[in-house]
């Protein structure tokens, strides 16, 4: 099932590769929930989904609690009258100023589907600032939202730092981490999906925590760009490389492939040696 939200770096296109690498367990823990593609396409008994973006988690909780009622309310925003630059920017301003949690959650869904390229971006003041997307007829993800609402009954959603979430895991948990990716170049930096960014120290903390968790019986799978930095950071993991088509560039003719890595900490291959494998998606 596809996520109901568009999301930069969403994992729906490689979810099969991720699913093959995820070990069995009772609960899947995702410290970087994003569009929740892995949650939607796996079958664990329980889920814990966390993200640093409070607007995202608020939408998930609202959909979990109110289901069809919330979906029907969101659908009312998807009208031809609201698919104009004037209405988009008025509703974006309302999103940035309203104190009504119900309304704000619905507007987040609207902005996600009407904004440029499905981006979720904030300025230094924490204001959502994605421009109008100019889609002829934005798709309302009713089927996807209803599926999410049903499966969310098995999940807990929290807003928090990945470090706290990972430290609270226990044996029986399986952790999947989809952090903001290490840039492939100095200009390809997509770390502003939430205030504060995600820098080198955060990447180092993530790999260190993954190793710590694996040593106490909690396997951790991390996806990221394949770079010299991640090759070194994930040296203690079993790694699989993928060549993945990119869909983030604003230049539609310049959306090529990029090497990615799936690094699994805590479950070694039979001969206890690190293996590598290349596949294309």
H or E segment to which residue 71 belongs: helix 54-75
24 occurs within a structural domain: yes
The answer to whether residues 69 and 28 belong to one domain is: no
In a domain, 2, yes or no: no
Count of domains observed in the chain: 2
Determine, yes or no, domain membership for 1. no
Q: Is 151 inside a domain boundary? A: no
Residues 136 and 239 in one domain: no
Its domain, for residue 77, covers 63-144
Task: Tell whether 180 is covered by a domain.
Answer: yes
Determine, yes or no, domain membership for 155: no
pTM score, whole prediction: 0.88
Give the domain-ending residue among 110, 144, 178: 144
Domain boundary, last residue among 114, 144, 174: 144
Instruction: Determine the pLDDT at residue 247.
Output: 54
Q: How far apart are CA 43 and CA 123, in angstroms?
A: 37
The reported pLDDT for the residue numbered 116 is: 96
Residue 37 lies in a domain: yes
pLDDT tens digit at each of 281 positions of the chain: 999 999 988 899 899 999 999 999 999 999 999 999 999 999 999 999 999 999 999 999 999 999 999 999 999 999 999 999 999 999 999 999 999 999 999 999 999 999 999 999 999 999 999 999 999 999 999 999 999 999 999 999 999 999 999 999 999 999 999 999 988 865 554 444 444 578 899 999 999 999 999 999 999 999 999 999 999 999 999 999 998 876 544 444 445 678 899 999 996 544 333 333 443 33
Residue 104 sits in the same domain as residue 226: no
My answer on whether 180 and 241 are in the same domain is yes
Tell whether 35 and 138 lie within a shared domain.
no
* Same domain for 43 and 69: no
Give the 3-state secondary structure of residue 158: strand
* pLDDT of res. 195: 43
CATH number at residue 274: 3.40.50.150
CATH code assigned at 81 = 1.10.1020.10
> Is residue 178 domain-shared with residue 273, that is, in the same domain?
yes
The answer to whether residues 92 and 67 belong to one domain is yes
HSE-CB of 143 using CA atoms within 13 angstroms: 3
**CA end-to-end distance (rounded Å), the chain:** 17
Chosen domain end from 115, 144, 173: 144
Same domain, 181 and 257: yes
If asked whether residues 36 and 169 sit together in one domain, one would say yes
Whether 6 is covered by a domain: the verdict is no
* Same domain flag for 226 and 250: yes
Say yes or no: 88 and 210 in one domain.
no
């Amino acid at each position: 099932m596809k996520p109901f939200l568009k999301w930069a770096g969403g994992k729906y296109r490689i979810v099969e590769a991720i699913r093959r690498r995820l070990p069995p367990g009772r609960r899947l823990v995702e410290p970087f929930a994003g569009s929740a593609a892995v949650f939607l396409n796996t079958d664990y008994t329980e889920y814990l989904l966390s993200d640093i973006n409070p607007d995202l988690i608020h939408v998930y909780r609202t959909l979990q609690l109110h289901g069809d009622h919330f979906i029907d309310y969101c659908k009312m925003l998807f009208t031809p009258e609201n698919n104009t630059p004037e209405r988009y920017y008025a509703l974006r301003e309302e999103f940035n100023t309203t104190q009504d949690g119900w309304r704000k959650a619905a507007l987040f869904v609207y902005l996600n589907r009407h904004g440029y390229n499905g981006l979720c971006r904030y300025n230094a003041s924490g204001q959502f600032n994605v421009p109008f997307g100019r889609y002829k007829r934005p798709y309302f993800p009713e089927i996807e939202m209803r599926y999410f609402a049903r499966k969310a009954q098995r999940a807990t959603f929290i807003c928090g730092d990945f470090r706290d979430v990972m430290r609270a895991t226990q044996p029986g948990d399986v952790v999947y981490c989809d952090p903001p990716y290490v840039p492939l170049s100095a200009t390809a930096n997509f770390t502003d999906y939430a205030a504060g960014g995600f820098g080198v120290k955060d990447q180092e903390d993530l790999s260190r925590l993954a190793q710590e968790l694996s040593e106490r019986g909690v396997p951790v799978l991390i996806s990221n760009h394949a770079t010299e930095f991640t090759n070194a950071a994930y040296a203690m993991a079993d790694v699989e490389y993928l060549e993945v088509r990119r869909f983030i560039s604003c230049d539609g003719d310049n959306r090529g492939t990029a090497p990615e890595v799936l690094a699994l900490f805590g479950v070694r291959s039979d001969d206890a040696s690190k293996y590598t494998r290349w596949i294309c998606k």
